[in-house]
Chains A and B, each alone.
Chain A
Amino acid sequence: NAGVTQTPKFRVLKTGQSMTLLCAQDMNHEYMYWYRQDPGMGLRLIHYSVGEGTTAKGEVPDGYNVSRLKKQNFLLGLESAAPSQTSVYFCASSSPGGGYTDTQYFGPGTRLTVL
């Protein structure tokens, strides 16, 4: 099992450009998440999904959109990149676990720089 994979690993954008980050998991997890990590701020939830075809906003959703067309994939889009979106982005997945909060499994991250 590859676990959670993220594409690409690194990306540099110019202000105003768009891009899509891809997250894939092979653990048949229902739930998937996108976080951003900034120095001194830990991980902040951008968007999440509780199942195929569903998405919801997290703590810092502005400037991002997501889609979950297939259970195993969760896409994060930046329509018009801004320097404030320079960050490391992590995808995670988890299973419902019978009603309790189960472990989230993380991908290796995507380092995005917006110039």
Chain B
Amino acid sequence: AQSVTQPDIHITVSEGASLELRCNYSYGATPYLFWYVQSPGQGLQLLLKYFSGDTLVQGIKGFEAEFKRSQSSFNLRKPSVHWSDAAEYFCAVGPIQGAQKLVFGQGTRLTINP
């Protein structure tokens, strides 16, 4: 069955430090992969997505992610985090049984230390 695992429930980094959030997926074909961000009390906003082509994908707010088929991973990175990056981050994979359904990971909550 299709699934997404985000191994880190909570990560704390210092402002200005680099960030990597891990995402591993299980999917029987070529996946479409997404990273969403959820600020406190808000809905989800798309950061970036991978469909095909270049395995390094650039997104909004200075984020990037790299698709590694051999490792079934799609890790999210940012070279230097800002206090405003504190949020919850979700990785998702699809499509699931058509209709563009997605399966989401459990989420990683990011805390930024000043």
Q: Evaluate contact between A101 and B106: CB separation under 8 angstroms.
A: no
How many residues of chain A have a CB within 8 Å of chain B? 28
Give bound CA distance, A93 to B69, whole Å: 28
Q: Assuming the A-B contacts A40-B9, A43-B90, are A48 and B101 also in contact, with contact meaning beta carbons closer than 8 angstroms in the complex?
A: yes
Contact with A along B46-57 (1 / 0, CB 8 A): 100101000000
Known contacts A100-B32, A106-B45; A31/B100 CB under 8 A: yes
Does B67 make an interface contact (CB < 8 A)? no
Residues of B contacting A: mostly: strand
A4 to B105, CA, bound (A): 22
Let me know if A114 is at the binding interface, CB within 8 A: no
Among residues 87 to 113 in chain A, which have CB atoms less than 8 Å away from a CB atom of chain B? 90, 92, 94, 96-97, 100-109
Do B100 and A42 touch across chains, with their CB atoms under 8 A apart?
A: no
Nearest A residue to B102 by beta-carbon distance? A104
What CA separation (Å) do A90 and B43 show in the bound complex? 7
Give B26-69 as 1s and 0s: 1 = Cβ < 8 Å from A's Cβ atoms: 00000010101000011111100101000000000000000000
Which of B4, B41, B100 meets A101, CB within 8 Å? B100
Closest residue to A41 on the B side, CB-wise? B106
What is the distance, in angstroms, from B54's C-beta to the closest C-beta of chain A?
A: 16
By size class, the interface of chain B is: 20 to 34
Contact of B44 (CB < 8 Å), options: A31, A48, A90, A101? A90
Interface residues of A in 46-60 (CB under 8 A from B): 48, 50, 56, 58
Query: Considering the chains assembled together, what is the distance between the CA atoms of A43 and B9 in angstroms?
Result: 14
Q: Are B49 and A45 in contact (CB under 8 A)?
A: no
Is A48 in contact with B43, judged by CB distance below 8 angstroms?
no
Q: Nearest Cβ distance between residue A93 and chain B, in whole angstroms?
A: 10
CB nearest to B36 among chain A residues? A106
Pair A50/B104 contact, Cβ less than 8 Å: no
Distance of A32 from chain B, by nearest CB (Å): 10
* Alpha-carbon gap, A31 to B94, bound state (A): 14
B35 to chain A, nearest CB (A): 11
Contact partner of A50 (CB less than 8 A), chosen from B4, B34, B51, B99, is B99
Among residues of A, the one whose C-beta sits closest to the C-beta of B93 is: A101
User: In angstroms, how far is the closest chain B Cβ from the Cβ of A34?
Assistant: 12
